[in-house]
Amino acid sequence: MPKLTAFLETLASHGIWEKAQKLLLVFLTCLALLYAVSLVVKAVRRAVDDGNAGVTSDAERRAETLGSVLTNAARAVVVAFFLLMTLQEFGVNIGPLVAGAGVAGVALGFGAQSLVKDVISGFFLLMENQFGVGDIVNVDDKHTGTVERMTLRITQLRDAEGRAHFVPNGSIVRVVVLSKDFARALVDVEVGYGTDPDVAFEVLREVGQRLHEERPDQAVEPLEVKGIEILGPSGFVIRTLTKTSPGVQWEVARELRRRILLAFRESGIEIPYPQRVVHHRGGSED
């Protein structure tokens, strides 16, 4: 105990104990700020939660995106604040440092224009709610996938093959959201010219009606036959559209093709395949 007392007295005589107390207070303040931000994020997520774990609503995706950005920004601010306060406690004059940081920020703004462009574009992407985490998007016809993470600088996509795409927000010119509110499964079916179109239409409607009754959460409306789309060399193409829930249009289209194939076989409707007629002209025999 005497050694501990002497050690504490030494710390107090050099002012180290007082500095340690102040730094501990700063550290606890930073933790409190981060905790407060996490409470706000959780409150926002609970406010928009519809209670359905299987379906992520647009409001839930936006809350998830804004929560991620807010958490990252709060961490950066807290770390910067703690470092500045630590330097100040050890006698470093942070006034010139802050002024120099301002000048460096201006220089960085001119030298790193692409970074500034990314941040500004990311801010407007988030504020305008063009898309959010969980949406399926196509970016400039180059990147297609599910949005996994959004920050002020980049948007991370995961494509169907599991590859991660990191797209700078400043480079995004055009975004097509494939899972906004609802989607449509487009299925074109080719049948032979010997098939009665009205019979084929009726079979397709029956298939779509059964799928809608069995999977109303995916196929929200029965299949709609739009009519004959193409007169091809081997048959004519019938176009169908089915309104689906967001993000499941490809699964619905695959299931429709399977059921249509089986239904056509049962009804005796021919699905044509390419055929070629070869005329052979023989030479004259001597």
Report the pLDDT value the prediction gives residue 2, as an integer from 0 to 100.
56
Contact 147, 157 (CB under 8 A): yes
Query: d(Cα 31, Cα 79) in Å, to the nearest integer?
Result: 10
Cβ atoms of 269 and 200 closer than 8 Å: yes
pLDDT for 199 equals 92
Q: What are the pLDDT digits (tens) for 50-76? A: 666 665 665 666 677 677 777 877 888
CA atoms within 13 A on the CB side of 61: 22
Distance of CA 197 to the CA centre of its chain: 41
Summarised one tens digit per residue, pLDDT across range 129-148 is: 788 788 888 998 888 888 88
- Rounded CA-CA distance 124/231 in Å is 46
Cβ-proximal residues to 120 (8 Å cutoff; 6+ apart), any chain: 170
- What is the Cα–Cα distance from 71 to 257, expressed in whole angstroms? 45
**pTM for this one?**
0.55
Enumerate residue ranges in the chain where pLDDT < 50. 7-8, 11, 286
* Burial label, 167 (beta-carbon count in 10 A; 0-12, 13-18, 19+): buried
